[in-house]
Structure 1
Amino acid sequence: MTWTVMPTFEDYTQARAAFEWDLPDAFNPAVDFLRKHDDTSRTALRYEDPDSGLETYSFDDLDDRSDRLAAALAGLGVEAGDRVGAVVPQKPENPITHLANWKLGAVSVPLTVLFGRDALQYRLSDSEATAVVVDPSVRETVEEIRDECPDLEHVIELGTDDSVSGNARAFDDLLAAHDPGLEVYDATPATPSAIMYTSGSTGPPKGVRHSHALWLGRAAAAYNYFDQGLEPGETTLWTPADWAWGAALGGTLFAAWHHGCTIVGWPRDGFDPEAAYDLMARHDVDKAFMPPTALRMLMSVDDPEDRFDLSLETFASAGEPLTSEVVDWVDATFESVSVNEFYGQTELNLVVGNSDAWFDTRPGSMGKPFPGYEVRVLDPDGDEELETGEVGELAVKPGDRRVFFDEYWKLPEKTAEKQTDSGWFRTGDLVKRDADGYLWFVSRTDDVILTSGYRVGPMEVEEAILHHPDAEQAGVVGVPDETRGEAIKAYVQPATADYDPAQLREEIRDLVRERLAEYEYPQHIEFVEELPTTTTGKIQRRSLRNGGTPSDGTDD
């Protein structure tokens, strides 16, 4: 199979049987994303600068700029295998940095501008990054931690010498001082590509080192959850998610370029649903990766198809289960827009999902395994495969080992623990599979609440609470209880300031009892103005268990 586009399968069963990974012997993602297309003068990136307006970049433009940056990095002493961080929002310099790294054989470390001091320091120090490209918004933070990152030799700030001060080098001036035409590093699918950090749910964040095959795996998944509709030169994609997040970087941005499509970049501090609709209309966005929180915010806008000239065909979503209200809203609001939920991990690519082209979405379901992967539901305390309907740990086996992570950076024991002797990768996620093959997320293994002998997944309770119209967001944890062992406590962010606490508590408890089970209702409910969240919008249950402290910018 030639990795220009994914093969199209009309039937899911046929796709599962016929698809095989056939990775090329030589592969450099910078070449794949920029140079293999029939017309490299086509627009690859439409960037809306908050200050100067619209900028467009062709594949040729990005190739030229990443060549120049690669030459500049080489001049600073960056070599193959060195780690280079990128702390840049949805700006062209973000992918240009990654592309330049790979042209040198260097390893990218994607980081978000939402990280605070400690989060940035830990990741830059742990990855032993020798250089980092930063947005002006985080320059002071990086300077503050620079002495605590002993390997960090070079800080490159976006801008020119006129705007950059101190010991940082100016991104624009570095590009201007070097020429394109660099000889690209001779890479393969197994060449080290990126270190992406986990959320740190069971301790300090772990660096997950991937090879270049990662991007092929993400491009394959995107082709499926975008309903096999990524047409070169025709499809335009957008996501409000930070390009440091794997599903946005690999599953949207680089997936678009692998398939020869256009991506929209639009850095913003927050999410405004009216402005989001306007952006998608102006750029004829037809495929959007939209986290569930963003979808719920889009629901607040009345009659979007009447008010905006939309070209939307598919919403893809991940990060938390979609409630039936969201799926029903998409069906009722848009004439022909599908919504496909999918699932993946930092370590294991995007492996399970829905595709409206193949089968009906079941609200709240993770979907079915994508072609190229096998899944099992295992006993959490052993390797025994469980029966349909039983809750167990999701395990995944890829058809090609290279599309999964290579190692936890400097943690060989943790790496070994992730994979069984028979080649199955344990996800740490509890799921169940129904009779039709759909997988349903229950909880992380370390978030399970043991109450009165029952195992309760907090996400399931959270989803039930969110069915109440007066509940904007919810986080559920277990708290010590003398009788039950653990009691269920819900932190709820009300949707309005006008509510009766006693009445809302009882309505939520009744709702959970009704939707789930008697033993799953929250014995304790605390109303809060805001819940602590990770940089990707997930509830920080660890913070809630510690008393509901505000988010510090690290993932839970």
Structure 2
Amino acid sequence: MPESSSRASTDYASTYRDFRWERPAHFNFATDVIDRHAAERPLAPALQWSDESGRSQRFSFQDLKERSLHAARFLTGLGLKRGDRVFILMPRVPEWWFLVLGCIRAGIVFMPGTPMLTAKDIRYRLEVSGAKAVLTDGSCLDRFEGVLGQAPGVTTWVSTGDAPSPWTRYAPEPLGESLAESQATAFPPTKAEDPLLIYFTSGTTGMPKMVLHTQSSYGQGHLITGRYWLDLKPEDRHLTLSDTGWAKCAWGKLFGPWSVGACNVVYDFRGRFDPVGFLKVLEREKVTTFCAPPTAWRALVLQDLKAVDLSSLRHSLSAGEPLNPEVIQTWKEATGLHIREGYGQTETVVIVGIFPGMEPRVGSMGRPSPGFTVAVIDEHGNEVADGQEGDIAVRVKPERPVGLFAGYLNDDAANAASSRGDWYVTGDRAVRDADGYLWFVGRSDDVIKTSGYRVGPFEVESALIEHPAVAESAVIGVPDDKLGHRIKAYVLLTPGHTPSPQLAQELQDFVKKTTAPYKYPREIEFVTELPKTVSGKIRRAELRATQKNQAAREQG
């Protein structure tokens, strides 16, 4: 663990100045962190789970050790080996955490996916990753209709419930297996640079890219997230609002809280986000620290915040995109707490944030995380002057920081595009002020952030083009008070089809069925041509400018 890891300091300047990473030859989050907590505080609460029906389960760190040992034995017993890749798609059920820790313990590379993915999305991920196994929940079996038999590399199919062949049933209980028997199975130490997990992240061109994280860099790196940004202590009860398929889950529902021994509070809901019900969860579970995306915060502050007892909360956080100042103010007036923002990516841990002891500045992302040199640079890789807009970048030379991904798998173009001299370029733009605070400007590419999700325009466009009425389309994000951005599609129709509200609705429904529902265009505009470059690439920037001008005229 880092030398400065005894506890989060309230003095940001000295913490940032003195922080140094340890770089062990071997590291494994399950054995080095979970097992350590199990030895030191075996009965301390580690996972507090509940769902919409009122069911509730509590697991200690000793339980996590035993369940993950069992999961590791179960997976290796199916023939899975260190380095094999498994795709895991489950809702927020305890089995997700047991299996993930089992994968980590055994050195099996897990690849999370959201239950919102469709068969097409899943099939792509299995094929491009070379997955050997699929781990899912009984409630998600329908997602694999049309996938079984179409993924030749997958040899093992596992479900938490009863399912027909070729599915194998996984039960989280040891089923008569003693802890001594579980421990008797030797899992050799994983090297620091061994692969840990792969995330799929949306880009502006092509299908989602594979982001590779290693055992030590990501497992250790999130100590920054947990101790310094979430500001967690062992006695805390932390809740992060995220489903299991997103990197934010790793930040606040896995590595972040458990890196410091805090309790991970999980609320499993399957439908639409219910802000009233969620506030009651915060009250009932006596949550002390809470993180949510801006979309959720915008809904929460519209409720009667005085009707619930939130006195257990000691701080609140937001990440994913900039949060509206009025939302921060409303929450602070009701609870006395400032919503502290943070910034990072699927490719990183938290790299910029409002940390304890730091003066909050509404609208700012904060200052660089301990262990990271973050700057605003120009197209030549030089730092720009304070007050000047540029690209957000992380210094990777002469030493690559812990917490940064190893690279995009099988994508030399993406790796080259994200490298500029001594820097990793995030793809976002910002301005730094004279005090070192960063202020987000926008994305330097076309990725759309909507309701906390990252959506690449190509993913939506490729779904639209499958409809016989669509000849071509272009997708952009349009600013939206509730969603952050809403997806808008400009559609060029094939001969014989006429624009109409009915056709627009048909196309929206078609996209929902073809790809994950959150990717559907909430607005469709039929056009007779699309702006393009000389080389034939769609000029989405021109579409965004046209949309902005149109909105200004309507407001005027």
Supply the distance in 1 between the matched residues of 2:72 and 2:484 (Cα, whole angstroms). 44
- Does the aligned pair in 2 maintain the 1:133–1:157 contact within 8 Å? yes
Aligned to 2:212: 209
The question of whether the paired residues in 2 share the 8 Å contact of 1:248 and 1:289 is answered with: no
Contact 2:489 2:525 (C-alpha < 8 Å) held by counterparts: no
**Conservation of the 8 A alpha-carbon contact between 2:137 and 2:159:** yes
1:390 aligns with 2:388: yes
Report the equivalent of 1:350.
350
- Asked if the contact 1:21–1:400 (Cα under 8 Å) also holds between the matched residues in 2, the reply is no
Q: Which amino acid aligns with 2:395?
A: K
What is the deviation of 1:92?
1.0
The 1:128/1:299 distance shift into structure 2, 3 A limit, reads same
Q: Which residue of 1 aligns with 2:290?
A: 288
> What's the CA shift string for 1:123-161, capped at 9, x where partnerless?
1221111111102222122242122222111111112xx
Q: Deviations over 1:448-470 (max 9, x none)?
A: 99xxxxxxxx98x83xx63xxxx
Cα shift at 1:16 = 1.8
Equivalent pair of 2:222/2:259 in contact (CA under 8 Å): no
* Deviation of 1:396 (Å): 0.8
Amino acid at match of 2:429: L
Give 1:68-147 correspondences, 5 Å limit.
68-147=70-149
Residue identity in the other structure for 1:180: S
- SS of 2:394's equivalent in the other structure is strand
Secondary structure at the residue paired with 1:63?
A: helix
Does the 8 A contact of 2:15 with 2:370 survive in 1? yes
Kept in 2, the 8 Å contact 1:49–1:55? The answer is no
For each residue in 1:22-59, what CA deviation from the matched residue of structure 2 results, as whole angstroms up to 9, or x when unmatched?
13333111113321121122111111144571111111
Alignment of 1:421-500 (within 5 A): 421-422=421-422, 424-447=423-446, 462=479, 466=481, 474-475=485-486
Deviation at 1:474, TM superposition (A): 4.6
Q: For each residue in 1:334-374, what CA deviation from the matched residue of structure 2 results, as whole angstroms up to 9, or x when unmatched?
A: 13x2311111111132201112x222222222111111111
- The structural deviation recorded for 1:3 is 7.2
Query: What is the SS of the residue equivalent to 1:392?
Result: strand
TM-score, length-normalised on structure 1?
0.78
**Amino acid across the alignment from 1:216:** Q
AA paired with 1:71? R
Instruction: Indicate how the Cα distance of structure 1 residues 438 and 150 shifts in structure 2: closer, same or farther if over 3 A, else same.
Output: same
CA contact (8 A) 2:93 2:268 kept: yes
What amino acid sits opposite 2:285 in the alignment? H
Which aligned pairs between 1:330-409 and structure 2 lie closer than 5 A? Answer: 330-335=331-336, 337-355=337-355, 357-379=356-378, 381-397=379-395, 400-409=400-409
| 2:222 corresponds to which of 201, 209, 218 | 218
8 Å contact from structure 2 (residues 224, 349) kept in 1? no
Aligned to 1:314: 315
RMSD between aligned residues? 3.1
Distance 1:308 1:36 in 2: 34
* Cα distance in 2 between the residues matched to 1:442 and 1:477: 21
Change (3 A) 1:33 1:138: same
Q: Which amino acid aligns with 2:20?
A: E
Q: Indicate the percent of aligned positions where both proteins have the same amino acid.
A: 30
CA distance in 1, matches of 2:123, 2:223: 31
- Give, as a single letter, the amino acid of the residue that structure 1 aligns with 2:209: K
Per-residue CA deviations over 1:252-290 (Å, capped at 9, x if unaligned) read: 432111111111122112211111111111111011111
Paired residue type of 2:440:
F
CA contact (8 A) 2:7 2:227 kept: no
Output aligned runs, 1:178-327, within 5 Å.
179-181=181-183, 182-212=185-215, 213-226=217-230, 228=231, 230-232=232-234, 234-269=235-270, 270-304=272-306, 306-308=307-309, 310-327=311-328
Per-residue CA deviation, residues 220-261 of structure 1 (Å, 9 max, x unaligned), is 1232222x3x111x1001122112211222344321111111
Mapped contact 2:226–2:259 kept (Cα < 8 A): no
Answer whether contact 1:27 1:189 (CA < 8 A) is retained: yes
Aligned letter for 2:171? Answer: D
Question: Residues 109 and 194 of structure 1 are in contact (CA less than 8 Å); yes or no, is this contact kept in structure 2?
Answer: yes
- Residues matched between the structures, number: 470
